[in-house]
Structure 1
Amino acid sequence: MLRNDVMSALQQYDAAGARRALQALANEFPDDDALVYFGPIVNALEGRSTAPFGRHEAALQACQALSHEVQPAVARAFPGQSGATWLAPLWAELAGRAAALPFRADHADAHAAPLFLLAGRWAEASEAISCIASWRRIPAPLCWMTEARYRLDGLDAAWPLLVELAWLSPSRFDQLLSRLDDACVNRLRRAFDTSFDGAGDIDDLAWFPAWVLTDKTGLARLFRLAEPSRQNGPERAAKVMLGLLSLERQGRHHELLETRRELQALNGALYAAYMKTR
């Protein structure tokens, strides 16, 4: 009953009520295991604020406290997805407090955008990212915008940004795929990991967009919307693949053979995957 009193107050975000219920539980059962995880949650409720952050370091400190101290406790108190739902208003408050802080690559997590994402406020995250100069050329905001676009409009809308992210930052691309957990992309990723004969490290994922086009030719219309990035080998290979698909439709065999040789020179494993489907 005493535990339920604490939970009831927490569910209503009633800091004073939660503190009273927690104290009653501690007085009656000082060795109760629930005190370990109820305590940080009640502390977080009592520490809520809307005062803007004046420094990136202060925002980072607040984010780390919520992530490292409160979030694990919430996961124990609230089962399943209900924990993330309960935390959403607290993340949104931190985002609001960080709204005036400019983007800094060395303090990226202090920006409002990733905090809005944690709160499930996709439109507000997108708006915050759009205010970052050249966001599409910087790994962190590009990753944030890709997630926001996916959550708002689905996979088709996100594909061009996913492609750019793979070229720009394979490691962030990998992390984002885990968060999105999209069934279609997961199937492609598993097939890529199994069949692509690359270097065997995370940078292989930069070749993922070009590899996808060797089999899923229908995605070409979406991949063409990806904007130029670093002009590296994986990006050039994807552009070559798009050119090959166009030449195949037009039946331009001489140019097709030349372009296939170009693909082979860029990456033998990718060329082998392409030829396997031809």
Structure 2
Amino acid sequence: MGQLLTQILGKPLAALEQCNVTAGREALLRLTSEYPIDALAPTLAMLVEVLERPIPEPVTSHAVLRDTFEAWSSQIVPAARRAFGDAGGTAWCLPLWRTLAQAASDLPFRRDMPEWHTAPLWIRAAEWLAARESIARIESWRRIPTTLAWMAETVYRLQGLESAWPLLAELAWLSPKRLGALMQGLGDSSLLALRRVFDANFDGDGTLDDLAWFPAWALTERPGLAAFLRAAEFSTRTLPEQGMRIMLEMLSLEREGRQHELLERRKALRDLHAGLFGAYIRTR
């Protein structure tokens, strides 16, 4: 922003950064009086205006929510980042997303417009408990890839990766593409490291759909994940899901020393997916 401008604006600008509307208006008036053509003036004007009237009209429809969200994303978020930097601008917008989430709390979930719901707004606001409650009220949220991904992220933020593993597995079976995007979004170093090993070594089709096998394969690399993945609910019973169930059975049989039954399950795994069976055998 520049040292001179910072000195001119001083405390009023700092107050605007703290979402103080009165001080924000003061900062804007002081800037425009002393530097009427300064490039920052339109930015501050936009931020002051959205603080004074964050919701231009009641959020009574999904279309209103969509229009408000898109306007903020394309105008307010960039303005906040120009004024306060990337990290500061993102933090500055958190109360706005919280306000919009509260205003949209009565809108029902629509499968044809899943993104226009209060849950992703709570997520943007980093209000994880509110997000979890909002998602839990959606009927059959565990069978919808979008809502399942929301819940997986929310549980991760609240409780960590171990608690999120069952939901990540179910998401892999429903939508490998969404799982891939969520992994990148979470930014968990251990999860991303495991993903890199999977991409390099798993003998699959070489497409993003291979991620459906990721939970089953992960058990070959980290058998200790069985304690968490056993909590995954039965989903669509696809081949990748069957693969994980067989892997869980084999790990139990190995621990119990039941060799005859173990050999039968190994054959079932080989018949199900040669690449997964190969990954398992290489660790034995």
Distance in 1 (CA, whole Å) between partners of 2:279 and 2:46 is 52
Alignment-mate amino acid for residue 110 of structure 2: R
CA change 1:170–1:36 in 2 (3 A) is farther
Provide the aligned length of Structure 1 versus Structure 2: 278
Contact 1:91 1:118 in 2 (8 A): yes
Q: Which runs of 5+ in 1 are unaligned?
A: none
Distance in 2 (CA, whole Å) between partners of 1:194 and 1:39 is 50
What are the superposed Cα offsets for residues 73-116 of structure 1, whole Å, 9 maximum, x if unpaired? 22232235333322111101010011000101222222111111
The structure 2 residue matched to 1:122, chosen from 128, 140, 160, is 128
The answer to which of 216-225 and 253-262 deviates more is: 253-262
1:146-157 equivalences in 2 (<5 Å): 146-157=152-163
Distance in 1 (CA, whole Å) between partners of 2:13 and 2:204 is 51
Distance in 2 (CA, whole Å) between partners of 1:143 and 1:193 is 21
TM-fit CA distance, 1:177: 1.4
Give secondary structure in 2 for the equivalent of 1:74. helix
TM-fit CA distance, 1:11: 1.7
Partner of 1:102 in structure 2?
A: 108
The answer to which of 104-113 and 121-130 deviates more is: 104-113
Partner of 1:69 in structure 2?
A: 75
Contact 1:41 1:74 in 2 (8 A): yes
Alignment-mate amino acid for residue 54 of structure 1: T
TM-fit CA distance, 1:250: 2.2
Is residue 166 of structure 2 the alignment partner of residue 168 of structure 1?
no
1:155-234 equivalences in 2 (<5 Å): 155-234=161-240
CA change 1:18–1:199 in 2 (3 A) is same
Distance in 2 (CA, whole Å) between partners of 1:192 and 1:38 is 47
Is residue 84 of structure 2 the alignment partner of residue 85 of structure 1?
no
Alignment-mate amino acid for residue 55 of structure 1: S
What are the superposed Cα offsets for residues 34-74 of structure 1, whole Å, 9 maximum, x if unpaired? 34543432332233139641101101111112222211222
1:29-40 equivalences in 2 (<5 Å): 29-35=35-41, 37-40=43-46
The answer to which of 77-86 and 1-10 deviates more is: 1-10
Partner of 1:254 in structure 2?
A: 260
Alignment-mate amino acid for residue 156 of structure 1: E
Q: Which runs of 5+ in 2 are unaligned?
A: 1-6
Distance in 2 (CA, whole Å) between partners of 1:7 and 1:172 is 40
Partner of 1:273 in structure 2?
A: 279
Give secondary structure in 1 for the equivalent of 2:112. helix
TM-fit CA distance, 1:251: 2.2
Contact 1:143 1:165 in 2 (8 A): yes
Partner of 1:7 in structure 2?
A: 13
Give secondary structure in 1 for the equivalent of 2:235. coil
Contact 1:50 1:97 in 2 (8 A): no
What is the root-mean-square deviation of aligned Cα atoms in Å?
Answer: 2.1
